Amino acid sequence: MKKIVILLLSVVVMFGCATVYRDSEGNVVPREKIEILKTAAVKGHLAEKRFRIFVDKIYPMGMPVRTLNEDYVIEVSRDSIGMMLPYVGRLDRAPIDGRVGIEVLSPIYSYTSEPIKNGERILIETRDQTETYLVVLNIYDDGSANVNLKSNIRASIGYSGVMQLNDKFVPKRKK
């Protein structure tokens, strides 16, 4: 009897953990359709070269992974890139402004993309007054992203995060 009660309880708990997606009218939407819509949104943002990635983990070279509690972001807007990221690691020379974190808003000098399994790899080259950056973004169809940042005065560092998909995406009309 005790085994039956435990079995029934575990079945109830498993069904209670199931996620149900609903649209704006309250209708149930299948998980497969949600994945298709998410993939379409990711591909649309990448095609427009307008996207924002919120970073939630940092992978410093030779140090343990750290989870971030604040909003750090990488934003690409066609011909420019903005980065507000923490930095933990070796500096070859001190920054002129004294800030150790990465705060950049500058034009993109090179933007290339290539398909990878379940996503796209984007290589962006940019520079500010004192540094040159190579940003390698692996963005997957589910909206997750891995970022590798290389600089001429810093040790390489990695980040992971998610692409913002809840913003209003309106593709440009073809003329």
State the Cα–Cα distance between residues 77 and 48, nearest whole angstrom: 9
pLDDT tens track for 106-119: 999 999 999 999 99
Largest CA distance in the chain: 74
pTM: 0.78
Burial 155-168 (b: 16+ CB within 10 A, else e): bebebbbbbebeee
pLDDT tens track for 47-102: 999 999 999 999 998 899 999 988 899 999 989 999 999 998 888 877 676 677 88
pLDDT band at 175 (very low <50, low <70, confident <90, very high): very low
